[in-house]
Amino acid sequence: MRSFTILPLLCMCFVIIVDGRRGLFQSSLGNTFPNYPCQTDPSRSPFKLEPTYTMSPSANGQRICFTGAAIQRCPTEDPCCTQADFYKLELRVRPTCRRAIRSVTVNGLAAPTPTFEVYGLARDMALFKLPRLNLTTTNATGSKICITLRDPCPNLAALCPEGDGSCTYAIGQSTSPHKCCPTNKFGTVPPPPPPASAVAINPVPSKSLPLPTAAPRQTAVLARRSLANGPAPYTGTFPYVSACNQTTGLMPFRLAGSPVPSWTISGGNVYCFTLEAAPCADSTSPCCSSTLLRVDWWSYDTCRGSVRVYVDKVPYPVTWDQGGTFRLTKLNYSPDEVAAQPKQICIELRKDGPCDSIQKFCRLGSTGGCTYALYDGSQACCPTASTPALRR
Ligand SMILES: *[C@@H]1O[C@H](CO)[C@@H](O)[C@H](O)[C@H]1NC(C)=O
Ligand SMILES: *[C@@H]1O[C@H](CO)[C@@H](O)[C@H](O)[C@H]1NC(C)=O
Ligand SMILES: *[C@@H]1O[C@H](CO)[C@@H](O)[C@H](O)[C@H]1NC(C)=O
């Protein structure tokens, strides 16, 4: 019994020590960002970023540019005000976003590759450090810092735990006995009163908006303040058609099977699903008697070129659409046909490609399986579901 009572006491002491440190360093974020003790108070630093950023499409994701804000007044007795420079930028990100920042530039010049760190007891926090930006009070104002994002976190809603296109950042200095890390957010100011020509959009694509990556030109972005403060799951916007009914189980089909790599066809890793008949969620809906025209999977644009498909072992053409939508079309299967004879759909993934396993190919749904949508010919029905959880 005794050993059981000691443990809670130890835990309490730990909490008190952590709380004391929080007060000393005045962290408004509970010392969870950045991952070292430092002076987080942004009013003690001359540096911050403009609250808005711009984004423009790039090959497999988005290019995001931040601007150094005007040097601000700060208490001159504080070394974080007078002695610090703007050596690095730290971004609080999701732990799943390793490798998401492909390149960094400062005023058009390449900066070193950022480093990624996962931290916290539960390994549930992460940050990117963008070092050697070399800005000072003489040239930080108006400087452009740009990052290029790619899968698995190709935009800021996917990159940062806020999930609404806003992000928390800290500015770090090169060398100083005093650790200064003024911490702030960008993308959180309310949109200005709308001048007729302004293009201010919410970077979280709502179902009725086109994807930001589809925007033909650079767009200034102001995220709306998020309602919830906690980390939001990255739900994204799949499928990308909005007019159809996405209710799970609306059509009499489903993808079954939790695929493991099985046989190989032309040297890749092959994963097979069964397209089978399933009870309808609403038997009175016209979707329940509709023909299956196409299946969309939620994948990544970087997986293009990595995949072949076989339906009942016969090669089947695949197409790709925006946001990593991987598609089989012109299927034309009636409910009776599939009920009588389920179809085997196999995905073969190139072993030398970036998406060599089904875990890397599928954007996973809440069940840990592949996310997909079924479509009827009229595009009135697009029930969305996940396959059973993938096994390792
Ligand atoms: C910052 O300075 C260091 C050392 O001089 C240099 O290696 C690095 O490339 C500079 N960074 C940028 C973005 O110019
Ligand atoms: C800013 O100024 C510092 C020193 O004054 C210099 O080393 C650095 O290269 C400058 N950075 C840019 C982006 O102009
Ligand atoms: C989708 O279908 C379900 C089941 O028939 C129905 O209850 C729901 O209202 C439909 N939703 C839309 C947006 O039409």
**SS3 assignment for 161-187:** CCCCCCEEEEEECCCCCCCECCEEEEC
* Mean pLDDT of all residues in 153-174: 89
Asked if 200 and 70 sit in the same domain, the reply is yes
pLDDT band of residue 23 (cuts 50, 70, 90) is very low
Any ligand 1 atom below 6 A from CB of 133: yes
Contacting residues for 153 by C-beta, under 8 A, at least 6 apart = 93, 94, 96, 97, 100, 159, 234
What is the H or E stretch that residue 337 is in?
helix 335-340
Place 158 in a pLDDT band, splitting at 50, 70 and 90. confident
The answer to whether residues 187 and 200 touch, using CB atoms and an 8 Å cutoff, is: no
Q: Would the pLDDT of 210 be above 60?
A: no
Phi, psi dihedrals of residue 254, rounded to the nearest 5°: -155, 160
- Cβ–ligand 2 contact at 134 (below 6 Å): yes
In this structure, is residue 180 part of a structural domain? yes
Which is more confidently placed, 188 or 28? Answer: 188
Ligand 1 pocket, 108 CB below 6 A? no
pLDDT for residue 11 is more than 50: no
Cβ of 132 below 6 Å from ligand 1 = yes
The residue ranking higher by pLDDT, 180 or 217, is: 180
Tell me: do 183 and 119 sit in the same domain. Answer: yes
- Of 221, 239, 262, the position where a domain reaches its end is 221
- Whether 84 has a pLDDT exceeding 70, the answer reads yes
CA atoms within a 13 Å half-sphere pointing along the CA-CB vector of 175: 0
| pLDDT value for 109 | 92
pLDDT (0 to 100) of residue 115: 95
Query: Is 261 domain-assigned?
Result: yes
Question: If pLDDT is split at 50, 70 and 90, which confidence band does 191 have?
Answer: very low
**pLDDT of residue 229 exceeding 80:** no
Q: Which of 376, 200, 368 shows the shortest CA–CA distance to 292?
A: 376
116 & 188 share domain: yes
The more confident residue out of 265 and 321 is 321
Q: In the predicted model, what is the mean pLDDT of residues 105-123?
A: 92
CA distance 82 to 298: 50
3 state SS of 149 = strand
Measured from the Cα of 105, ligand 1's closest atom is: 13
Q: Does some domain include residue 144?
A: yes
pLDDT at 121 (0 to 100): 86
pLDDT over 70 at 222, yes or no:
no
| Mean pLDDT, residues 329-346 | 94
Residue pair 255/275 in contact (Cβ under 8 Å)? The answer is yes
> Three-class SS of residue 74?
coil
Residue nearest to ligand 2 atom 9, measured at CA: 134
* Most confident option among 29-33, 255-259, 326-330: 326-330
Ligand 1 centroid to 145 CA: how many Å? Answer: 13
Question: Do 187 and 298 reside in the same domain of the chain?
Answer: no
Ligand 2 centre to CA of 239 (Å) is: 45
How confident is the model at residue 152, as a pLDDT? 82
Question: What percentage of the chain reaches a pLDDT higher than 90?
Answer: 46
Residues 142 and 266 in one domain: no
In a domain, 140, yes or no: yes
Give the Å distances, CA to CA, from 326 to 13, 203, 304, 321.
Answer: 52, 23, 8, 6
Which of these three, 197, 221, 245, is where a domain ends? 221
In a domain, residue 232? The reply is no
Last residue in a domain, options 206, 221, 236: 221
Asked if 206 and 278 sit in the same domain, the reply is no
> Which pLDDT belongs to residue 322?
79
Q: How confident is the model at residue 133 (pLDDT cuts 50, 70, 90)?
A: very high
Asked if residue 177 has pLDDT above 80, the reply is no
Identify whether residues 63 and 205 lie together within a single domain. Answer: yes
Once rounded to an integer, what is the mean pLDDT over residues 334-362?
Answer: 89
Residue 182 has pLDDT above 50, yes or no: yes
Q: Residues 38, 160: one domain?
A: yes
- Confidence (pLDDT) at 59: 65
Specify the ligand 2 atom closest to the Cα of 106: 13
Ligand 3, residues at Cβ distance < 6 Å: 245, 247, 250, 282, 285
Mean pLDDT of 236-264: 79
DSSP 8-state code for residue 190: P
Residues 328 and 377 both lie in one domain: yes
214 CA to centre of own chain: 17
Using 50, 70 and 90 to split pLDDT, how confident is the model at 5? Answer: very low
List CB contacts of 216: < 8 A, sequence separation 6 or more.
none
76 and 216 part of one domain:
yes
Q: In the prediction, which pLDDT does 235 show?
A: 44
> Do 314 and 188 reside in the same domain of the chain?
no
CA angle centred on 64, ends 60 and 65, rounded to 5°: 150
Does the pLDDT value for residue 263 go beyond 60?
A: yes
Measured distance CA(81)–CA(88) in Å, rounded? 16
The confidence score (pLDDT) of residue 292 equals: 96
Q: How much is the average pLDDT of 170-179?
A: 84
Residue closest via CA to ligand 3's atom 1 equals: 245
CB of 153 within 6 A of ligand 1: the answer is no
- Looking at per-residue pLDDT, the higher value among 70 and 300 belongs to 70
* Rounded Cα–Cα distance for residues 118 and 306 (Å): 29
Residue at 135 is within a domain: yes
Q: Which of 360, 281, 351, 352 is nearest to 326 (CA)?
A: 360
Rounded to whole angstroms, how far apart are CA atoms 90 and 233? 21
Q: How many structural domains comprise the chain?
A: 2
Structural Rg of the chain based on CA atoms:
25
pTM (2 d.p.): 0.51
Ligand 2 centroid to residue 113 C-alpha, Å: 18
Residue 104's CB: how many other CB atoms inside 10 A? 21
* Whether the predicted pLDDT of 204 surpasses 60: no
Which atom of ligand 2 is nearest the CA belonging to 139?
1
Residue 387 pLDDT more than 80? Answer: yes
Residue 284 has pLDDT above 80, yes or no: yes
Would you say the C-alpha torsion 109, 184, 34, 73 has a positive or negative sign? Answer: positive
Q: Is the dihedral of CA 296, 301, 303, 305 positive or negative?
A: positive
Tell me which residue range forms the domain holding 271.
253-386
Highest mean pLDDT among 144-158, 263-277, 285-299: 285-299
Ligand 3: residue whose CA is nearest its atom 11? 245
Assess if residue 175 is contained within a domain.
yes
- Ligand found nearest the CA of 287: 3
Ligand 1 centroid vs 259 CA: distance in angstroms? 48
Distance from residue 302's CA to the centre of ligand 3 (Å): 34
Residue 364 Cα, ligand 3 centroid: separation in angstroms?
A: 24
Mean pLDDT value across the chain = 78
- What is the maximal distance between C-alpha atoms in the chain? 81
**Cα–Cα separations (whole angstroms), residue 59 to 146, 151, 225, 322:** 15, 11, 29, 12
Is the residue at 124 inside a domain? yes
- Residues 48, 42: contact at Cβ < 8 Å? yes
- How high is the pLDDT of residue 60? 61
Q: Which two tokens stand for residue 164?
A: 């609404």
| Same domain assignment for residues 162 and 294 | no
| For ligand 1, atom 6: residue with the closest CA | 132
Which pLDDT belongs to residue 262? Answer: 66
